[in-house]
Amino acid sequence: MTAEPRHFTTQLAVIGSGIAGFAAAIFAINRKIVTAQVGNTGALAYTTGYLDLIGKLGGAAGLVTDPWQALASLRETEPKHPLCRVSADDIQQAFAEFTDFLGACGLAYSAPGASNITALTPVGTLKQTLCVPATMAAGPRAMAANTPCVIVDFRGLKGFSGAEVVANLRDRWPQLTTRRLVFPGMDRGEVYPEVMARALEVPATREQLAEALNGVAGAARVIGLPAILGMHRPDHVRAELERLTGREIFEIPTMPPSVPGIRLRELFQQVLPQRGVTLIPQQRVTALSFDGDGATLALSDSYGPIRVHAQAVILATGRFLSGGLEAHPAGIREHLLDLPVTQPAGRADWYRDRYTDPRGHPIHRAGIEVDDSFRPLTREGRRYHDRLFAAGVILAHQDWIRGRSGAGIAIATSFRAVTEAKRFLSGR
């Protein structure tokens, strides 16, 4: 027997549950737009938790300390870059609204400032980013002040080595040392950040860890840990460990999938339905169609088919990793509507000869075209449909990995797409 589809009706449907999709849902509910979101598992759990705007410009040497100045330069050199279609005021407001929302939900972030923060990577190299989780903020401060600090790693934890962090930062942070501990209750075999984070939600585990930390911290006034400070209340877990150790504590992101990304995903999945979003997680939209009355998303879950009827749609399906774009021998395709993809002329042009070419590879700038209202365009340069908008790294003319601008593109373009969708829904 074929199951009858379940129907949902909404003003706005967001397709995608990466940073762009979740940011779009947040901006939409803040504007009182009735919203449904469908998203398959994607890149969110891989992110470090840092929210980059522009961290690098113009090749290997171009580390960016002032992203707003870099944005002004980008407008001169790459006017088609998606960030150049968003005013600096809107970008600032978008970051502030996004981080305020996270803070109100119990995951505090630093506010977007006038300059980038020099943040630590999992291996102790440095990167420039705009906003960091509050749990990570003390690290850059302690490094700038050369405060005595111990990086603690754990027996059995792969992909995070205190010795490596210290080796990479020694010149810059001479007062940095490292010690290795056994995580409470996990003294055998491999240990995993996600499991450690959930264990630290329990007060008794925190007390045991604090005791162990006090045993190795010596004269250090600051302790750096891999990102394991709880899954749902990291600010509370950090505050408790600081109280118990009498020292300042900070986290460093670990290799993906990392706890800060999983935290974001779990927070969105918990909070957005409470705020009225119809969230259908872990599912893939298989067809999207438009008619005079609106748009219809088709998908299925384990109970059978689902149809979501919407007045407007935001496509935030990402690039290759998340499946928004697919690479085929004949070329790169947008998988849902077969929207035209701006891409190198042929497969031989996807990559440059040298993998480490500082200019990057042309395939990483592939994506769909939008007009100034963030509506995707057809091959003829017309709007695909008045009801369709797009946001995030599916957009062409940017290499977010090279530019260190993943979250920035996602948040800024979602802000604009929602603004335009709201205008459409209000009949203006």
Ligand X SMILES: Cc1cc2nc3c(=O)[nH]c(=O)nc-3n(C[C@H](O)[C@H](O)[C@H](O)COP(=O)(O)OP(=O)(O)OC[C@H]3O[C@@H](n4cnc5c(N)ncnc54)[C@H](O)[C@@H]3O)c2cc1C
**SS3 assignment, position 263:** helix
Closest listed residue to residue 382, CA positions, set 370, 368, 364: 370
Give whichever of 124 and 318 is closer to ligand X, judged by the CB atom. 318
CA 74, 79, 85, 87 torsion-angle sign: positive
Distance CA 306, CA 299 (A): 5
Contact (Cβ atoms closer than 8 angstroms) between residue 205 and residue 184 = yes
Give, rounded to a whole angstrom, the gap between the first and last alpha carbons of the chain.
45
Least Å distance, CB 286 to ligand X, is 7
**Minimum distance of ligand X from residue 194's CB (angstroms):** 16
CB of residue 341 vs ligand X: minimum separation in angstroms? 14
Cα gap 111→113, rounded to integer Å: 6
Q: Indicate the residue among 206 and 265 with the shorter CB distance to ligand X.
A: 265
- The Cβ of residue 171 has, within 10 Å, a number of other Cβ atoms equal to 7
Shortest distance, position 236 Cβ to ligand X, whole Å: 24
In the complex, the smallest distance separating the C-beta of residue 378 from ligand X, rounded to whole angstroms, is 20
Identity of the residue, 196 or 313, whose beta carbon is nearer to ligand X in the bound complex: 313
- Reading the block at residue 216, the tokens are 């190795």
- In the complex, the smallest distance separating the C-beta of residue 372 from ligand X, rounded to whole angstroms, is 19
Give the whole-angstrom CA distance, residue 218 versus residue 221: 8
* Residues 263, 249: Cα–Cα separation, whole Å: 18
Judged by the rule CB under 6 A, the positions of this chain that interact with ligand X are 15-21, 38-44, 46-48, 50-52, 256, 284-285, 316-318, 321-324, 336, 392-393, 406-407, 410
Residue whose CB is less far from ligand X, 217 or 310: 310
Q: How many CA atoms lie within 13 A of 313 on its CB side?
A: 31
CB of 63 to ligand X, least distance (A): 15
Do 68 and 75 touch, CB atoms closer than 8 A?
Answer: no
* Nearer CB in complex with ligand X: 52/240: 52
Task: Annotate 84-133 with DSSP letters as a single string.
Answer: GGS-HHHHHHHHHHHHHHHHHTT--BPPP-SS-EEEE-TTS-EEEESB-B
Q: Are the beta carbons of 126 and 153 closer than 8 angstroms?
A: no
Which residue, 21 or 162, has its beta carbon nearer to ligand X?
A: 21
How many of the other CB atoms lie within 10 Å of CB of 300? 14
* Per-residue tokens: 304: 């059978």
Tokens of 162: 């205190």
Contact status, residue 249 vs residue 241, Cβ threshold 8 Å:
yes
Instruction: In angstroms, give the least distance from the CB of 192 to ligand X.
Output: 17
**Beta carbon nearer to ligand X, 98 or 183:** 98
Which CB sits closer to ligand X, 129 or 205? Answer: 129
Q: Give 257's DSSP letter.
A: S
Q: How far is the CB of 103 from ligand X (least distance, A)?
A: 17
Asked whether 313 and 387 are in contact (CB, 8 A), the reply is yes
CB 225 to ligand X: min, Å:
18
30/41 with CB nearer ligand X? 41
Choice between 91 and 244, CB closer to ligand X: 91
